[in-house]
């Protein structure tokens, strides 16, 4: 629930249902991610108008249209850059970035690196289906070696990208992994990520039932082990990296790493005034502002 100055408002997952119904394939893992975020936000009591979802391009990047909040469907691989601008403009907003492995780790890999390094106060949810689904089944940065796709008919020769170890080593202060087939654990991870101050990243296994016949629900279920069941210490940087390297008969989900470090907002002197930049008067005349807008249009 969320309280304003006059009353207490009860929220439930349905309050975050967008006006557009998802057009994902039946059985797509992204449905589980959407439902989990709706449940997490309702439990935290964050009002829809206090949230902004930002996405790039891809099946999963259609997310802002399906979630009742402010939303931006941006350019391929550029969601984190846009989201950082949103957060700097109004730090009081809860900014959630959604996308896929191609969008986030391929064309958007550079932004991923530097958003983590700068510790921008965002929550980044990557629906990792290990394939390019929107373009009907090409190899992605996280596809396994030897995987046969439309772009690698004889099997991929590339070593897959590891988002867990990469995000930890690049400076992310919250790193976790979830599975769309385990909404209970995923909702808890999302709640923790949203409440975390700093760059919070969750790698989410979200099976593509149409184009990826390797990394299916049946593939993941017997292999996934929860870090919390093994007594993993998420403050141990080295142990987190070691767990992130495990892939095979066992693959870990849960909170890998969490630490506290000053955010980009903390280090930016102009933010010390506390008032969101979007609510401050422009340091120019209306005429000057109009000229700039006309020049950019």
Output the CA–CA distances (angstroms, integers) from residue 143 to 51, 124, 138, 178, in the order listed.
32, 20, 9, 17
Q: Quick one: pLDDT at residue 283?
A: 83
What would the pLDDT profile of 52-83 be if each residue is shown by its tens digit?
999 999 999 999 999 999 999 999 999 999 99
DSSP 103: I
Q: Which residues contact 72 (CB under 8 A, 6 or more apart)?
A: 52, 53, 54, 55, 64, 82, 86
Residue 118, judged by CB atoms within 10 A of its CB (0-12, 13-18, 19+), counts as: middle
User: How far is Cα 203 from Cα 78, in angstroms, rounded to an integer?
Assistant: 18
Report d(CA 258, CA 248) in Å as an integer: 24
Q: How far apart are CA 100 and CA 94, in angstroms?
A: 20
Distance CA 268, CA 270 (A): 6
Write the CATH number of the domain with boundaries 11-296. 3.40.50.970
Indicate the pairing of strand 123-128 with strand 94-100. parallel
- 217/205 Cα distance (integer angstroms): 9
Nearest by Cα to 199 from 109, 66, 97, 296: 97
For 160-196, the pLDDT digits (tens) are 999 999 999 999 999 999 999 999 999 999 999 999 9
Bridge pairing between strands 70-73 and 51-55: parallel
- Rounded to an integer, what distance in angstroms lies between the CA atom of residue 193 and that of residue 176? 8
d(CA 16, CA 43): 12
Q: What is the pLDDT of residue 5?
A: 40
Burial of 77 (0-12, 13-18, 19+ CB in 10 A): buried
Integer angstrom CA distances of residue 75 from 78, 188, 240, 246: 5, 29, 32, 33
Tokens 């700093």 locate to 198
Q: What is the pLDDT of residue 272?
A: 82
Closest CA to 90 of 279, 264, 284: 279
Q: Contact, 152 vs 139, CB < 8 A?
A: yes
Task: Note if the pTM is more than 0.85.
Answer: yes
Q: Give the chain's residues under pLDDT 50.
A: 1-7
Residue 281: per-residue pLDDT: 85
pLDDT number for residue 9: 80
* CA nearest to 172, candidates 264, 243, 239: 264
The pLDDT assigned to 182 comes to 98
Domain ranges of the chain: 11-296
């Amino acid at each position: 629930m969320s309280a304003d100055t006059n009353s207490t408002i009860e929220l439930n997952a349905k309050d975050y249902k967008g006006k557009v119904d998802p057009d994902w394939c039946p059985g797509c893992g992204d449905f589980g991610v959407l439902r989990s975020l709706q449940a997490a936000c309702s439990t935290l009591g964050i009002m829809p108008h206090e949230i902004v979802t930002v996405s790039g391009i891809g099946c999963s990047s259609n997310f802002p249209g399906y979630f009742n909040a402010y939303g931006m469907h941006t350019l391929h691989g550029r969601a984190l850059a846009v989201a950082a601008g949103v957060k700097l403009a109004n730090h009081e907003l809860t900014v959630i970035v959604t996308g896929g492995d191609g969008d986030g780790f391929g064309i958007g890999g550079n932004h991923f690196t530097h958003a983590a390094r700068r510790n921008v106060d965002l929550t980044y949810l990557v629906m990792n289906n290990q394939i390019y689904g929107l373009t009907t089944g090409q190899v992605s940065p996280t596809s396994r070696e030897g995987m046969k796709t439309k772009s690698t008919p004889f099997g991929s020769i590339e070593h897959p990208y590891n988002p867990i170890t990469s995000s930890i080593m690049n400076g992310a202060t919250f790193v976790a992994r979830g599975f769309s087939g385990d909404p209970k654990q995923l909702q808890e991870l999302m709640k923790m990520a949203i409440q975390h101050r700093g760059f919070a990243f969750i790698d989410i296994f979200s099976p593509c039932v149409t184009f990826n016949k390797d990394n299916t629900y049946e593939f993941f279920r017997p292999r996934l082990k929860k870090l919390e069941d093994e007594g993993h210490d998420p403050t141990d940087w080295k142990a987190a990296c070691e767990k992130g390297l495990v892939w095979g008969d066992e693959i870990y989900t849960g909170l890998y790493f969490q630490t506290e470090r000053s955010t980009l907002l903390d280090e930016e002197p102009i933010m010390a005034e506390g008032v969101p930049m979007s609510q401050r008067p422009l340091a120019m005349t209306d005429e000057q502002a109009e000229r700039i807008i006309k020049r950019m249009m």
